[in-house]
Amino acid sequence: MASNVHLRGDGVSVIVDVSSGVPIVRHWGSALGPAESVPDDGRVTLGAIDSIPAVSLVPMHGDGFPGRPGLAGHRRGGRHWAPRFTLASHEVIENADRTELVCTAVDRVAELSLVSSLALGADGVLTAQATVVNDGDTPLMLDAFTVSLPLPAEASELGVYGGRWGREFDLHRFAWPYGAWTSENRAGRTSHEHPPFVWACTEGAGEWSGRVWGIHLAWSGNHVMYAETMFDGRRYVQTGELFHPGEICVYAGESFSTPDVVGVFSDVGWTRASQSFHREARRRLPRRLGPRLVHLNTWEAVYFDHDEETLRSIADAAAAVGVERFVLDDGWFGSRRNDRAGLGDWEVSEAVYPNGLAPLIDHVRALGMDFGIWVEPEMANPDSEILRAHPDWVLATPGYEPVLGRNQLVIDLTNDECFAHVLGRIDDLLSDHAIAYVKWDMNRWVVQGSGTDGKSAAHDQVLALYALIDELRVRHPEVEFESCSSGGGRIDMSILQRVERFWTSDNNDALERQKIQRGASMVLPPEVLGSHVGPTPAHSTGRRLDMAFRTATAMFGHMGVEADVSRMSERDREILRHGIEVYKRFRAFVHGGDAVRLEPSGAARDHCIAHGVYATDRREALISFARLETSSASGTPPLIVPGLLDDVAYRIALVPMLPDGDGLFGPVETRPSWARGADFTMSGRELATVGLPMPPVRPESAVVVHLFGS
């Protein structure tokens, strides 16, 4: 007989059957009343077994589960390969901000315990995790250990991210197929190609309609994402770490836990589900964020060509346009004049900086800016002092030629001596200089990475990375950290607990960034997504774009500049200065509100991107409408703006992205009155039904609109 526990959050109910010991989620979705219940979904199927079990948090083959088991392992000789657990205890723990259910199950034959946790926040965010305990006296080889969450039959579509370098968070949406969809990531980081997020939704769900579920594995290494429709029609999503052969052994008396699995639900579309992910991200940040300072990063300004006088002139020009933090990128250390040598030698290059970094840092700080610096502590070039002295510190497999990536190798942070060396070098760097910010990069996959014991070290390398950043944060609590991995190759909510910012993409082309940032906005709030004004032509695409479009795109993230400001035209510097002023005017609002995505209609649907931020009380909004290319229709349909307060009158005002006017539209007589500077108001109901009249925005341009309720 089922024994159900009802977890309640804001608009969300999770009903869990604990009778079998391993929790079974009977319902995860819209809020239910206290007297409402859900039926047992056990199935009887002719020609199979008498009763097919429900999808539990960790489903077991030993119970007759026909899908992929959540726990796969064995002892020596292949014994105890199909455990079957029974309930030992369960406990409901009430906290101010969440309710947690903890279930303990045992298998006395296999000498294993399984501890499962489901926690539902007051805001409706679900967190699931499982731990296997070896109660025996022989090791347990763990082949797979994942968490499964069942979804209803109405969740008929999937949304998953693909991508590559320079094209991160590319959403692919399709009908949930019969059988299984899966992605497996072995890159040693979350990856550009298969980031650990899966969405499911009802057919045709939009940003503001339909039921949507989102599932994320909070882990920075190898992982599997799996979605299956079983032969009896039931559906579930399963996710966890992906282990290399023989990688994980749970010794007698020890335990092993899955990473957190974060789940969100909305019965009013994708945007509301995204806002739940944003709340969880903000909760996990290592500190409360202050104003997000405007960056100048030197990479696309000078690359490896470091010259102190040039950098001083860039700093002068940056400060003059309002930049607040100067970040010195790759090329400041050792013999690092290109990407073939010097990586791993974290000492200031005497050839480039004969007086050290102090004169440049002092110059930057005298201009009123913070100083930041780039490092890549997990890597080294073969041509480096560190690997000449310690060739055994490479994370590789003896007997094989290590696989190169960007002319570099992964160093073995699981090696205590290597870890201590890297920690000491970065600690010295931060102790000896007035550095407020660290851009932490990781530019290649982990391939055939064996530890000193000969087995795969992929899991342990991630834990060592966490420990390294954690210790540096303890020693330097005032320093902010950024996670970069050739752009967005390591973005997840576990590394987020250790950094204040992600570098969203190496692609600074504003047209591409409109798409990349829209995808990333589905899982992360704008204040943690680095977004820079790049040079023209764009480094990644060669495209030339207007400065006003570049600033309008960058201001809806954590804004920065990645270009040689000193070599820009005076007109571009003037527009950039103005764009930075607009960002500063609105940044507290953008970074403290609820990010929204809007859906252009008609001919604008496939050619325009609209998004913005609403105040938490819904009395104010800032909206960007960008046209990427022309369409077959000459006009632009009104933009539907749902989700504001029906009976509030909103004053609509253009936010000029040029210092001397808008300059972005067609003839004045074709514009709606608000885009000509006239007083114009609309109610929230009108905005959601009739829509906001839009001006004829040129291709590769954006209009920014401020709505303020009276």
Average pLDDT over residues 257-280: 98
Residue 379, pLDDT > 60, answer yes
- 464: Cβ–Cβ under 8 A, 6 or more apart, which residues? 413, 414, 419
Residues of the chain above pLDDT 70, percent: 97
> Kindly report the CA angle at 64 between 63 and 68, in degrees rounded to 5?
100
Distance CA(65)–CA(342), nearest Å, equals 53
- Residues recorded for the chain: 710
Q: How does residue 308 score in pLDDT terms, banded at 50, 70 and 90?
A: very high
H/E element holding 432?
helix 416-432
Q: SS3 for 353?
A: coil
Q: Which residues pair with 174 in a beta bridge?
A: 158
Pairing assessment for the beta strands 24-30 and 12-17 based on DSSP bridges: antiparallel
* Closest to 414 in 3D by CA, of 401, 396, 395, 400: 395
pLDDT at 165: 96
Residue with tokens 């579930």: 236
Distance CA 532, CA 515 (A): 14
Per-residue tokens: 263: 């789940």
* Domain residue extents for the chain: 4-284, 295-497, 595-709
Tokens of 521: 């906005």
Q: Which residues of 631-641 are buried (b: 16+ CB within 10 A; e: fewer)?
A: beeeebbbbbb
Which H or E run contains 444? Answer: none
CA distance 635 to 130: 54
**CATH number of 595-709, picked from 2.60.40.1180, 2.160.20.70, 1.10.10.10, 2.60.40.420:** 2.60.40.1180
644 within 8 A of 667, measured Cβ to Cβ: no
Pick the CATH number of 295-497 from 3.20.20.70, 3.40.50.720, 3.40.309.10, 3.40.50.740: 3.20.20.70
Confidence at residue 52, expressed as pLDDT on a 0 to 100 scale: 83
Please give the full DSSP string across 635-701, using - where no structure is assigned: S-PPBP--SS-TT-EEEEEEE-SBTTB---BS-GGGS-GGGGT---EEEHHHHHHT-B----BPTTE
- Answer yes or no: is pLDDT of 1 > 60: no
pLDDT band at 317 (very low <50, low <70, confident <90, very high): very high
Q: C-alpha angle with apex 285: 528 to 496, nearest 5 degrees? A: 70
Q: How far apart are CA 653 and CA 99, in angstroms?
A: 43
Q: Which residues pair with 595 in a beta bridge?
A: 613
Q: What is the DSSP letter of 168?
A: -
pLDDT tens per residue across span 549-573: 999 999 999 999 999 999 999 999 9
CA angle 313, 582, 487 (to 5 degrees): 65
pLDDT at 392: 96
- Of 133, 150, 151, which Cα lies nearest the Cα of 142? 133
Pairing mode of beta strands 325-328, 409-410: unpaired
| Mean pLDDT across 482-509 | 98
Q: Is 253 exposed, middle or buried (0-12, 13-18, 19+ CB in 10 A)?
A: exposed
What pLDDT score was predicted for residue 518? 97
| Exposed / middle / buried, residue 547 (Cβ in 10 Å: 0-12, 13-18, 19+) | buried
**What are 171's two structure tokens?**
């959403």
pLDDT in tens, 129-187: 999 999 999 999 999 999 999 999 999 999 999 999 999 999 999 999 999 999 999 99
User: In this predicted structure, what is the pLDDT of residue 316?
Assistant: 98
Q: Decide if 494 contacts 218 (C-beta within 8 A).
A: yes
Which residue, among 602, 651, 604, 645, has the nearest Cα to 625 in the 3D structure? Answer: 604
DSSP per-residue string spanning 286-304: SS-----PPEEE-HHHHTT
pLDDT at 154: 96
Average per-residue pLDDT for the chain: 95
| pLDDT tens-digit map of 627-640 | 998 877 677 899 99
Closest by Cα among 177, 228, 257 to 65: 228
pLDDT at 615 over 70: yes
- In this structure, are strands 71-74 and 480-483 parallel, antiparallel, or unpaired? unpaired
pLDDT of residue 23: 97
- Catalytic residues, which ones? 441, 506
Q: Looking at the domain 4-284, which fold is it?
A: Beta-galactosidase; Chain A, domain 5 (2.70.98)
